[in-house]
Amino acid sequence: MEDKLIFPASVYPEILQKIIEDTHQDLNFPVNYIASSMLVAAALAIGNSIVLKLREDWIVKSILYMALIGEPGAVKTHPINFALTPFRKSDEYTLSKYKKELAEYRSLPVDQRGEKPKARQFLMKDFTPEAVAKVLDANPHGICIHSDELNGWFASFNKYNNGGGEQEMWLSLHNGGSLVVNRKGIDDIISINESNVNVLGSIQPRVLAKCFRGQKTDNGFLYRMLFAKDSSEGMPLLWRDEDLPTGVGERWKGFIMEMLEVSRQYDTTLAPVEYTFHQDAWDIMRTWQNDRETDYAMEGNQYKVAIFRKIQDYALRFCLIIHAMREAAKEINPSVLIDSLTVAKSIRIATYFFDTALNVYEYIYFGSDAEDSKIVRLLDFLPEVFTKQQAETVGANLGISRSTIHRHIRGDKDDPFTERLKHGIYRKKV
C-alpha cells in the first residue's frame, strides 16, 4: 500500500520518474521535495500561455503556492535549486542581453529612443507588491518567486496597509487576478490584468506554526498553500560513492524546454491555449469532488472541509499541468482535451497534498500539546459562535474538564483558537 504522505511520483512521465529516482538515490533529495519542486517548475513553464476553461466564467491557471517543510538540514534548498536551474540559466542570459540593450538605449539622444528595454525573467526573490508588479509588467508569461525561507513572506503580510493589504494581494494573485500598484503617486501606476505568480520555498515546521497559528486562518490563506514534507525525516542521510548519472541536469533542462514549447512561451502575443475536459474525464473529476465533499461534510470536520475545497481547485490545476507534461514527454499527441488518465493522475496528486495539509494543519494547531488537541476537537463540535456554557456542556460529553476549557478558550489576542465577541460569547479562529 502506498504511503499517503509520499508524493505519487509514478504519475509523472517516465523521464521525470528517472530524474527523481537518480536525484533521490545519489543526492539524497527527498522524493516529496524534488517531485513537488518539479511540479512548480512545470507550472512556471506553462504560465499564462495555457489555461483550463470549464465555463465562460470559470478559467483555471497553473498557479501553485508551494512550501517545503522540514527541519534544518532536511535537504530542502537543493531540490528547489535543481528544479529551477533551467529558468535561472535563462535569466542569466536574458539579464546580460537586457544590460546591453539598456546601455544602447541610454546612449541614444532622448528624441531618438524607442521603447525602453524590459528585463525578461522567470525568477525573483522579492515579495513586495511594487517589485512583483514591476516584474510582471515586463513578463506577461508569468514568474516564480522562490525563497529559502518563506517566513519572511508570511511576516510581510502584516507589514503594510494596516496588516491586511499584502495578504489580500496574494489571495487575489492565487487566482491569477489583477494587480494594481501605485508606486509613487497617481501618475505612476502599474496595472496587471492577467497575473501569473507561482511561489516556491521552504520553512521549518515550528516557524510555520508560529506564522499561521491564529490570524492567518481567518481568510483561508492557510488552505491555499500546498505543503510537501519529507516522509523519511529522522532517517540517516548517508554519503554515497556514486556520482549523479551523467546528463541528469541536461535531461531536466531539455524537458523544461519542451514544456516551454508546448506552452508557446515564445509568442506572448497570442491568446492562451484553452484546455478543456473530455466528457468521460470530467465525469470522473465531478464524481470525485462530489463524493469527497459529501463525505467530509458529513464528518462535520470544518477544517477538513475547508482544506478539501481548496484542494478541489488545485486538482484542476494539476490536470492542466499533467496534461502539458504528458505532451512535452511525447506520451500523448498534442490536444486541448484532457483525458481520464490525466484526471486520475491529478486526483492522486491532489489526495497527497490533501493528506499532507491535514498533517500540517494538525501540527500547527495540535502540536505536541495534548490539551491543544482536545480544544481543537471540542471546537469541531461547536457552532461558529458559541457561549462558554455551550463549550462546557460539549466538553463534558467529550471528557474535557472545565478547567482545561477555561485555560485555553480566552478570546484574547494571544488565544490561537477563539476571539471574544463579548462577555461569555466567542467565535472560532480554527
Residue 216 predicted with pLDDT over 50: no
Per-residue pLDDT, 379? 83
In angstroms, the CA 411 to CA 74 distance is 36
Q: What is the pLDDT of residue 249?
A: 92
Q: Which amino acid is at 335?
A: S
DSSP letter assigned to residue 161? G
The secondary structure of 65-121 as a DSSP string is EEEEE--TTSS-HHHHHHHHHHHHHHHHHHHHHHHHHHHHHHHS-GGG--SPP----
- Residue 18: pLDDT above 50? yes
The SS3 assignment for 181 reads: strand
Of 222 and 60, more confident: 60
Beta bridge partners of 419: 427
Q: Is 32 helix (H, G, I), strand (E, B) or coil?
A: helix
Containing H/E element for 123? strand 123-124
User: Cα–Cα distances in Å, from 187 out to 191, 261, 323?
Assistant: 12, 38, 43
Q: What's the longest Cα–Cα distance across the chain?
A: 81
Which residue from 79, 90, 76 is spatially nearest to 123, judged by alpha carbons? 90
Arithmetic mean of pLDDT, 216-224? 65
Please state, for a pLDDT cut of 70, what percent of the chain lies above it.
86
- If one compares 345 and 55, the residue with the highest pLDDT of the two is 345
The more confidently predicted of residues 374 and 292 is 292
Confidence of residue 71 (pLDDT cuts 50, 70, 90): confident
DSSP at 163: G
Phi and psi at residue 58, to the nearest 5°: -135, 95
The most confident of 5-19, 153-167, 367-381, by mean pLDDT: 5-19
What pLDDT, on a 0 to 100 scale, did the predictor assign at position 119? 87
- DSSP type of residue 300: T
pLDDT at 265: 52
pLDDT tens per residue, range 199-213: 999 998 878 877 776
Structure confidence at residue 186 (pLDDT): 47
Q: How far apart are CA 341 and CA 17, in angstroms?
A: 17
Q: Which three cell numbers stand for residue 10?
A: 509514478
Residue 209: its pLDDT value, please?
A: 78
243 pLDDT above the threshold of 90? no
Nine-digit cell string for 359: 498533517
Percent of the chain with pLDDT over 90: 49
281, pLDDT greater than 80 = yes
> pLDDT tens, 27-68?
889 999 999 999 999 999 999 999 999 988 899 999 999 999
Decide if pLDDT at 385 tops 90: yes
pLDDT at residue 21 greater than cutoff 50: yes
Distance of CA 226 to the CA centre of its chain: 4
Output the pTM of the full model: 0.82
pLDDT digits (tens, 9 = 90+) for 120-167: 999 999 888 888 998 999 999 999 999 888 988 877 665 544 445 687
Nearest to 396, CA basis, from 410, 388, 429, 373: 388
Confidence tier at 1 by pLDDT (50, 70, 90): very low
Confidence of residue 295 (pLDDT cuts 50, 70, 90): confident
The string of pLDDT tens digits covering residues 107-123 is: 998 888 888 888 899 99
Torsion sign across C-alpha atoms 44, 203, 348, 177: negative
